A and B are shown apart, each in its own frame.
Chain A
């Protein structure tokens, strides 16, 4: 079956611009996570959805970052007024919820010039 997919695979933008990153989870998975991974580091938690609601958004670094999951499936991570420090790989993972494994997508590499 299809795994987690993320689009675009690469995104280059200019400082100050707005970007949207999309995640398509595995069908039927109610849990969805966003992570950010900088070079040479492990993934850093951003936000967790259970269904349509953000169950835990404590990892979002500031109010320029926002994520939605309106129908409990596809999720969009939105970054306003991008800064060079936002450059990283943004990973999405989905799972059945609870304390169980997550399945990761390939990530979106964001470069802010």
Chain B
């Protein structure tokens, strides 16, 4: 399978600070990427996506950056809140399949 991995398995941030979660992918042909948030006992929840013809996309409090040169993806969360505590996955699309990384566990300290 594809190698979609995350640099840090856990991340702790202070409430109100910005969070950055990183992800590396191995298939340069991947053309679509998604960040998901997964809370305990729930399915992954879509956060933001980006296509390979873009290098940045912004949503509400979240920004995704794509660096195709080094095959790196990052998720930035502004003004992190306790409700942001969860596991975050990046997923890359190749053909019909989405490949997920292992995930980063984000803990927000009040």
Q: Contact size class for B?
A: 20 to 34
- B32, B96, B100: the one contacting A43 at CB < 8 Å is B100
Residue A113 CB within 8 A of the other chain: no
Contact with A along B89-110 (1 / 0, CB 8 A): 1010101111111110000000
Residues on the B chain within 8 Å of A93, using CB: 43
Within the complex, which residue of A58, A99, A103 is in contact with B31, where a contact is CB–CB below 8 Å?
A99
Q: Are A56 and B103 in contact (CB under 8 A)?
A: no
What residues on A are CB-neighbors of B45 within 8 Å?
Answer: 104
Closest to B36 in A: A104
Contacts of A56 in B (CB 8 A): 95-97
Interface centre among A42, A45, A55, A102 (most CB of B within 10 A): A42
B44 interface hit (Cβ, 8 Å)? yes
Q: Is the CB of A48 within 8 A of B103?
A: no
Which B residues have a C-beta under 8 Å from some C-beta of A? 1, 4, 31-32, 34, 36, 41-46, 49, 51, 89, 91, 93, 95-103
Known contacts A99-B32, A104-B45, A106-B41; 9 further A-B pairs (Cβ under 8 A): A42-B103, A43-B89, A44-B100, A56-B97, A91-B43, A91-B44, A102-B34, A102-B46, A106-B43
